[in-house]
Amino acid sequence: MERLHQNQIYTGTVEGYSSEGLGIVRLDGAVVFVPRAVRGETVDLKITKVMKTAAAGEIVRIHAPSPERMEPECPYFGRCGGCDFQHMTYAEELWAKRQRVQDALERLGGTDLRVEEIVGAKNPHHYRNKSQYPVGADGAIGFFQARSHRVVPIRRCLIQTETSDQIAQAVGEWMRRYRVSAYDETTGKGLVRHIYVRVNRRGESLCCVVVNGGRLPREPELAAYVRAAAPRAVGVVLNTNTRRGNVILGDRYRTLWGQDFLMDTLCGLTFKLSVPSFYQVNRDQAEVLYGKALEFAGLTGTETVLDLYCGTGTITLCMAARAKRVIGAEIVEPAIADARENAARNGVENAEFFCGDAADVAAELETQGLRPEVVTVDPPRKGLSPEVIASIAAMAPDRVVYVSCDPATLGRDVKLFAAQGYRAVQAAAVDMFPGTRHVECVVRLER
């Protein structure tokens, strides 16, 4: 191919989108990734970086804007790294996400399975029930700029709840009033690192302040500021994280006021959520996703279901109503404690929970001769290890229902399952994270 030159201007047509939400333009056989592009547009673009097999560019002129292009509603778009698709219609965003899942299944999964649908959100704004605000060394509270750790100060976010934003601003006011220092990750000095807020269906909230130390000055005043900003707050918790690095939460918690948990309802069940508990951030779309997982599981009431990476037991307990027996496994101890409580609270008597690594639990249950008819998995972004896939296959379930937040690792794992005799037969996507490039998908595999 003819080599592209940095700072040169070229003309090309946007063909589609990358997994990061960037537009894709092909020039002389090279792929150019272009931010804020919309499929179908012919653009003049300046090459900003040339790599071995690809290049990066930026739009300098759009010949004719796509009817799917729109003015971003968010004033921070382009500076804050939180959202990727504010420059296009929601319909086009859904097309991009469905295509991303389709591409991953075809290219990485080696399957010709068609993604049957993508279910969009009824309301793509203010859907996040969990918010994590980094605090910059200068005291700025907001979200990181794309590909950096510079905090863009944000007062009002289109995808967080108003309550979360108000609590974050209140903590900022308390810091300024009492001169409480912010953490500086370059020096490891300073106190406040993150502000973490959960909000439930009823509008109640739980605030956790993550600090580089065991205590804060003026702790009663901090609780008062939070309660004034969010009268329906149920608790203020302090989390200690003195380790360097990107992990947000440390292991130690102390309640400054109220309670250290929040109750919420999902799929008609009641859940207790402590700060570290995994829980889907978009409640309405989680109900859609779990409904799809339940449909793919094809339960008749006679099955044993094993749910790996069960968190606080949300999928496990949703499956329980239609299965004979359900078993949940999760490595986070507080989440398993919550899961057991959640089962008791909802009167679910056919569920049991184990704490441990997914591979270890699967191998242990396999040695006990457990043969579940259905295995469900909802792993973190990195997907499943080959050991977990081998252990699942050794149990020989009839069906595996794979819920994934990363189409790339899902595609990789679908191929590994195929080598173990499991074929992907159904796939759907659910837009859990409107405005961002992230998408949830669910695949049914059969032996």
Q: Catalytic residue numbers?
A: 405
- Spatial CA neighbour of 209 closest among 171, 264, 160: 171
Distances (CA, A) of 125 to 83, 162, 184, 388: 12, 11, 32, 36
Show the tokens assigned to 2: 């003819």
- Alpha-carbon distance of 231 to 225, in angstroms, equals 10
Helix, coil or strand: residue 115: coil
Q: Helices 162-177 and 219-229 sit at what angle, rounded to 10 degrees?
A: 150
For 178, other C-beta atoms within 10 Å of its C-beta total 13
Query: What's the longest Cα–Cα distance across the chain?
Result: 67
Q: Which residues pair with 254 in a beta bridge?
A: 238
In this structure, the number of other CB atoms found within 10 A of the CB of residue 372 comes to 24
For residues 417 and 180, give the distance between their C-alpha atoms in angstroms, rounded to a whole number: 52
Contact present, 394 and 424 (Cβ < 8 Å): no
* DSSP assignment letter at 231: T
**What SS3 state is found at 242?**
coil
Sole residue written with tokens 């790339």: 408
Helix (H, G, I), strand (E, B) or coil at 222: helix
Write the CB contacts of 423 (distance below 8 Å, at least 6 apart in sequence).
Answer: 111, 445, 446
* Residues 372, 395 contacting (CB under 8 angstroms): yes
Residue 79 near residue 145 (C-beta atoms within 8 A): yes
The two three-digit tokens of residue 443, written as one number: 């695949």
The two structure tokens encoding residue 104: 């991953």
The dihedral region occupied by 418, where left means phi > 0, alpha psi between -120 and 50, and beta the remainder, is alpha
User: Are the C-beta atoms of residues 83 and 74 closer than 8 Å to each other?
Assistant: yes
Query: What letter represents residue 279's amino acid?
Result: Y
